[in-house]
Chain A
């Protein structure tokens, strides 16, 4: 079974040379730490920067330089700043190659819910609805089950949707799964995790074809 860093490490392998990548808040933010350094990648943060760098050194924080999670960041050589309309123009216009975000629930048809728990938690969707409505390559990073132990990979989402039939891949603490028109296709198992355990933790339709390899991290 993977921890959050493990999930980020596995997703980092999906980041290819020449990609512009948008990272959501939480586990996705960690992905930047594990991307190979022999490839050229730029991170976009939807509040208005391309070429986002690591956190600043102590004393070099700038209130005018933050990411979409409101954390202080740095700008790498070659970075650019822009307004929110241009930022979402990049996203809507499908110029961003890969979007990685967290989720509360994903359905077997690729629906995603991650912005609201009615009556309990309403923080808002931020840029998530724009991202999932337009991006062609969307990877969800999340735990396979919630704190109560219930599956987060469902036949149908129970929470208000963020987007419809949009998720392409899911990386959890247990598995790598592709969303196909027939359901969740199991691609890889986390180290030490059996197909049966993944099956048990997946409420939606899980497609298992042949031997399922263990993830290489």
Chain B
């Protein structure tokens, strides 16, 4: 067993500097690395490039970094529901690269698995494919999209063991498994950190080889962005 544990979020983020590129898991506010984001706010690192499907809301998630103007560039697929984001984008304070959601996932996975690039049909014939190489396969057109390069990946899992093996929960899985091993350093925070052997190897979603640092997170808020309920019928 190779131990991946660090004592706390402070140790987990050792080496984080201004100007770095980060990957952050989550879809909307579901499955975001809350502890890592709080620590990034505290460290006040600037000029960051953040690869994340969304940009949080005004006062939670990546919205906290936007408020402090720590982010120089966002790479995302959907950025609605964040007024400060929209303001910074329209006033050109913030550089934004919008890419299709499946392309975002594929570019993370390519980085994880050692592919320099992948071909996808998404975005062909739209402004997303401008200035990109395109190619025909069997009569259909595809766009060449490159693997991401990032310094840190910040991932949130449900459970993990000290060897870095991970299990995700529900739709909080989303981009998290794809970012593991896709950056130079993968930092994982879990709701529950257990001893090796406590997780069934058959149930592991991501093996520890893709993880450099793991710690048990604290004070999860797990905010719900759009609470929708039905009445008892």
Q: Which residues of A contact B (CB under 8 A)?
A: 45-49, 54-58, 60-73, 75, 81-85, 87-88, 91-92, 119, 122-130, 133-134, 160-164
A62 nearest CB across to chain B (Å): 7
Residue of A nearest to B96 (CB): A122
Q: Which residues of A contact B171 (CB under 8 A)?
A: 45, 47-49, 64-67, 81
> Given contacts A64-B169, A83-B178, A127-B77, are A55 and B229 in contact (CB under 8 A)?
yes
Interface string of B127-159 (1 = CB under 8 A from A): 110000000000000000000000000000010
Task: In the A-B complex, list the 8 residue pairs whose CB atoms are closest, starting with the nearest.
Answer: A88-B102, A130-B102, A164-B125, A123-B80, A64-B170, A84-B105, A129-B100, A63-B222
Beyond A58-B229, A66-B30, A160-B126, whether A84 also contacts B78 by CB under 8 A is no
Nearest to B232 among chain A residues (CB) is: A57
Q: What are 26 inter-chain pairs, A to B, with CB distance below 8 A?
A: A47-B30, A56-B229, A57-B232, A63-B223, A66-B30, A67-B171, A70-B27, A83-B174, A83-B176, A83-B178, A85-B109, A87-B105, A125-B77, A125-B78, A125-B98, A126-B78, A126-B100, A126-B101, A127-B77, A127-B100, A127-B101, A129-B102, A134-B121, A160-B126, A161-B127, A164-B125
Kindly provide the distance from the CB of A159 to the nearest chain B CB, expressed in whole angstroms.
11
The chain A residue sitting closest to B27, CB to CB, is A47
Set B27, B98, B205: member contacting A122, Cβ < 8 A:
B98
Q: Check B101–A84 contact: CB distance below 8 A.
A: yes
A89 to B125 CA separation, bound complex (whole angstroms): 21
Residues of B contacting A88 in the complex (Cβ-Cβ under 8 angstroms)? 101-102, 105-106
Indicate if B230 sits at the interface (CB-CB under 8 A): yes
Given contacts A72-B229, A125-B100, 7 further A-B contacts (CB under 8 A): A70-B29, A73-B228, A81-B173, A123-B80, A130-B100, A133-B120, A133-B121
Q: List the B side residues contacting A63 at CB < 8 Å.
A: 29-30, 172, 222-224
Q: Could you tell me which residues of chain B, from 99 to 120, have a CB within 8 Å of some CB in chain A?
A: 99-106, 108-109, 120
B76: interface (CB < 8 Å): yes
Closest Cβ of chain A: how far from B14's Cβ, in Å? 27
Task: State A64–B225 Cα separation when bound (angstroms).
Answer: 11
Residues in chain A near residue B30, CB distance under 8 A: 47, 63-64, 66, 70
Contact B80 A133 (CB under 8 A): no
B208 at interface by CB-CB < 8 Å: no
Contact (A134, B105) CB under 8 Å given A63-B224, A66-B30, A84-B27: no
In the complex, residue of chain B having the shortest beta-carbon distance to the beta carbon of A127: B101
- Whether B78 pairs with A124 at a CB distance below 8 angstroms is yes
**Which residues of the partner chain B approach A73 to less than 8 Å between Cβ atoms?**
228
CA A160 – CA B77 in complex, angstroms? 15
Query: For the complex, is B72 an interface residue (Cβ under 8 Å from A)?
Result: no
List chain A residues, Cβ under 8 A from B101.
Answer: 46, 84, 88, 125-127, 129-130
